[in-house]
Structure 1
Amino acid sequence: MVKQERAVRTRTLVLRAGAEVIAARGYEGATIAEILDHAGVTKGAMYFHFPSKQALAEAVIEEQTNISTVPVTNSRLQDAVDLSQRVARALQSDPLLQAGTRIAVETGFAEEPIVPYQQWTSVFRSIFSAAKESGEVLPSVDPVETAEMFVASYLGVQLFSQAATNREDVCERVAALWRHLLPGIATPGVLAQIEPDGVGDLNDFGGIPQQHEATDIASS
């Protein structure tokens, strides 16, 4: 049990260190040496869990969708909005999501892209499907098409926000995206009840536990 717990802690350390370095340096700019130094582990300890930088990047992508639990309320459409706003807030400070974005953008045109689009599309497709079953969205709405359109638009919105304000206004831009999207998918009775800014605790997204003292990689 002690060895298992130590292995879990080591994996978490490396995963977080990798996310922090990639978020600061980019996927191509991040080096194994810097990730090891930031995590404070040996090369052997890292390779036991992640045999390559690509394997580490793939774990970062997988982790960011695994932690995106979606509370189920009486409005699945509002749940979709709330999830998107929690992700937006987390993007402002969570290296896991920041790294995922850089990985997706930098490898998007590679022969083997490492992208979270399919995972996120699946999450929102499920929510939109449930919303359609409950009569929240118009009968003509295709949950698959809507999920793909939303994820593609969301990626563009947060990248635009990153370039314009270093994501300071990303939540406002996501709300604007919903204000444009909702009239085309929500039933009239539901439309007036949805809050594009999100409701409830929007700061609870999850993330990788902080298990070592963070350093300012960007300025190092």
Structure 2
Amino acid sequence: MVKQERAARTREALIRAAAEVFDREGFSTASLTTISSLAGVSNGALHFHFPSKAALANAVEEAAFARLRVLTGDVPPAGASRVRLLVDVTHALAGALRTDPVLRAGFALSGEPSRLGPGDLREGWRCWVEETLKRAEAEGELRPEAEAADVVTAVVAATVGFEVLGVRDGAWLSAATVTRFWRLLLPTLVPAERLAGFVAVGTHSP
């Protein structure tokens, strides 16, 4: 049991270190020696857990997917607003991308042209946004002229754009940036008589 726990800790340390190096240097130029050194393990220990850099990148992407599922996983109770959930989750995603190198590296790896990973975080995010807005539309939350497909395009383009631009300038992932986006979009999305019930800053913001 102790040996298994130690192996699990080593694997998690390698995933975290790889995420930090991929985030800082990119997948193509990242060095396994740098990753093992940052994790505090030998190259042999790294190769015991991950036979290649591609396998290590896949593990980072899978860990990032798990983090994304946590962010999007709460199902609102019956009668709760899907639009409000979407606003809150976009704020949570931006906050996590600011602070979590595993999530940040996972998104970057999903767009890496030199590799074929186990999934695509950006596509996973698009699917969740689409499903949430389709339910909002079906439940009468959207203005009649605001078709869910059009709103999906706007939300996904903006949030993925914030993620990409945030690599070089963290202001793109700030709560203020996400709030400005929703302040602009909400009036075109929600019927006027219901707009007062929504806050662009999100309901979970401090």
> Cα distance, 1:80 vs. partner?
1.1
Q: Name whichever of 142-151 and 193-202 sits farther off.
A: 142-151
**Corresponding letter in the other structure for 2:136:** A
User: What is the CA deviation profile of residues 122-167 of structure 1, one whole-angstrom value per residue up to 9, with x for unaligned ones?
Assistant: 222232233223321235655455334422221213433554x433
Gapped regions of structure 1 (runs ≥ 5): 203-220
Q: Residue 197 of structure 2 aligns to a residue in which SS?
A: coil
Aligned length: 199
**Aligned-residue CA RMSD (Å):** 2.9
Q: Does 1:41 align with 2:45?
A: no
2:189 maps to which residue?
185
The alignment status of 1:147 with 2:155, answered yes or no, reads: no
Whole-angstrom distance in 2 between the partners of 1:154 and 1:182:
15
Deviates more, 1:15-24 or 1:175-184: 175-184
Q: Which secondary structure does the structure 1 equivalent of 2:99 belong to?
A: coil
The 10-residue stretch of structure 1 (144-153 or 191-200) with the greater mean CA deviation from structure 2: 144-153
1:197 aligned residue (180, 196, 201): 201
The letter of the residue matching 1:197 is V
Q: CA deviation at 1:3?
A: 3.9
TM-score normalised per structure 2: 0.78
TM-score (norm 1): 0.74
Matching residue within 154, 161, 172 for 1:156: 161
Q: Relative contact order, CA 8 A, sep 6+: which one is greater?
A: 1
Percent identical across equivalent pairs?
A: 33
Q: Distance in 1 between matches of 2:154 and 2:172?
A: 24
Tell me the distance in 1 between the aligned counterparts of 2:9 and 2:127: 29
* Larger helix share, 1 or 2: 2
Q: 1:149 to 1:64 in 2, by over 3 A?
A: farther
2: CA distance, partners of 1:142 / 1:92: 31
Q: 1:78 aligns with which of 54, 76, 84?
A: 84
Secondary structure class of the residue paired with 2:88: helix
Runs of 4+ aligned residues of structure 1 deviating over 6 Å after TM superposition are none
Shift of 1:34: 0.6
Which sections of structure 2, spanning at least 5 residues, go unmatched? none
Contact 2:162-2:172 at 8 Å conserved across structures = no
